[in-house]
A and B are shown apart, each in its own frame.
Chain A
Amino acid sequence: MFNLSQIKKDFPIFENNPSLVYLDSTATSLKPRPVIEKLVEYYSKYSANIFRGVYSLSEKATEEYEKTREKIAKFINAKSKEIIFTRNTTESLNLLAYSLGRKIIEKNDEIVTTILEHHSNFVPWQILSQESGAIFKVININQSGDLDLYCKNIKNQKSKCKMTMQNSKLINLDNIITKKTKILTLTYISNVLGTVNPIKEIVMVAKKINPKIIVIVDAAQAAPHQKIDVLDLGADFLAFSSHKMLGPTGVGVLWGKYDLLCEMFPFNFGGEMIAEVFLDKTFFKDPPYKFEAGTPAIAEVIALSEAVSYLEKIGLEKIETYEKELVQFAYQRLKEEFGKNIKILGEGNIKERSGILAFNFYNLHPHDVAQILSEKNICLRSGHHCAQPLHQFLGVSSSCRASFYLYNDKDDVEKLVEGLKEVRERFKI
């Protein structure tokens, strides 16, 4: 694998917090030195606005900003004019709900999403459905934590389903996608269960039923952890955030097929998205600029380029394999120590999971568990992780969530195990 002791050295936060056990990368990732240095470089060497000046500082800033656009395009196998910078995944998805959704959705049309969604890919579509009188359909999960796409009647065919779960040919969307389904929007990887959805196969089956369907992918938890190829996936739009993939906060990415972007109406109006303004009318620039009104997060976009370089240097395939091994090790260790007293959410298909483990410990409230762990400098999330419909479906009000990234190791897992033993002791269980 890659040299782990070296990797921690690349993240200055470990120098300042030597005992830090950071298990909340699903919320936001830590930042390596080159990213931090690039932010400083912009502010100390060429901190001018982009596109506006003809002077050299502004030209340098613009050049660096556009370099990131090219880099991101290559990163996901897209064209740079298809890359829009937003504030975060949430804004990318809201942009779609406004600029695309409000244009194409009419009464009795269908919008399909899943129970696995983060609120940011659930609420915008739920609200749009309510406003337009469209039908809002939500795909459930089965007992393993996978989307319920494989058999028509999961109850009667449970044993059969289990065996064929990963066989994409058996994906069945007949009762879900219809000719009236205008939008299918779904997450690539669940931010709670770590379920990796077979996006390519889903897109293929969905488009076979309805070739006009628009497929939107929330890749916030996928882009940092595995290689993404938008052409191969076949979806129409894909959104992710810089801050979850080692980059700065304040930057999101929206990729979309160019002809679709051209048809969409702007989301915000203002500087830089305008071609010409008259007293009685306004003409907009072409995408992506049409969707980037106002001064963006220039330094952050520029520094995102360093995050991509860092990930590519190590290799996303390697990162993916490493995380899968680590999460399985963690699963095994937690089960060994605590058995039935630790309930992992959606544990049925753990080998196919991304580096996320959501769990409940004894009958303790996740806040109390996380609080005691925090005394030992172990950071994990407690709550519903912005996925309330999923928690309701699973019949729990909240959970603890440990998530792993390239800078985590087996030692972190052991510290988590020790920390949980301490929790048990403190509550005299």
Chain B
Amino acid sequence: MSNIYTEIILDHYQNPRNFGEIKNPTKKVEVANPLCGDKIKMMIVFDKEKVTEVKFTGVGCAISTASASMLTEYIKGKTKEQLKKIDKNFIIKMLGVSLGVNRIKCALLSLEALKKLL
């Protein structure tokens, strides 16, 4: 496996975007990967079909945190229909690194949260 800790991933890990809580979200979910102890809480506000606000909190490794940070950045302003199209390949492309079978689970935790929010 090549270096998965690229500048961009480290940046999102150390300075995660949209990190925090929303007071009155439309919906709130919590997902966990008990195997590594990762937990992500994600909150979202919809204006009809459109995402106006999204935030997340939790503990995780660099990959799961960067993935949540980058994903929340992307989904702001998108419609539910657009978000339904996001899949595993999208996340891999977004992160821009190739992950092994064990680490891909870390990257997909935020996707699991998003799916539950839709």
| Residue positions of A touching B, CB distance < 8 A | 364-368, 371-372, 375, 382-384, 388, 391, 396-398, 426-428
Contact = CB atoms under 8 A, between A and B. Distances in A.
Interface residues of B, number: 19
Contacts of A368: 5, 61-63
Contacts of B60: 365
B10 A427 contact: yes
Interface string B1-21: 101110000100010000000
Contact of B34 (A371, A382, A388, A428): A388
A54 B36 CA distance: 52
Given A367-B103, A398-B37, 17 more contacts: A365-B61, A366-B61, A367-B106, A368-B63, A371-B4, A375-B1, A382-B36, A383-B36, A384-B34, A384-B36, A384-B37, A397-B36, A397-B37, A397-B39, A426-B5, A426-B10, A428-B10
Interface of B: 1, 3-5, 10, 14, 34-39, 59-63, 103, 106
Contacts of A383: 35-37
A397 to B, nearest CB: 3
Contacts of B63: 367-368
Contacts of B37: 383-384, 391, 396-398
B61 to A, nearest CB: 4
A396 B61 CA distance: 14
Main secondary structure of the interface of B (DSSP, over half): loop
Contact of A365 (B4, B10, B35, B36): B36
B10 A398 contact: no
A367 B65 CA distance: 12
Contact of A366 (B5, B36, B103): B36
B38 to A, nearest CB: 8
Contacts of B1: 375
Contacts of A426: 5, 10
Nearest to A374: B1
A217 B63 CA distance: 39
Given A367-B106, A427-B10, A428-B10, A372 B36 contact: no
B36 A371 contact: no
What 3 A-B pairs come out closest when comparing CB atoms? Answer: A397-B37, A365-B61, A398-B37
Contacts of B10: 426-428
Contact of B36 (A367, A375, A427, A428): A367
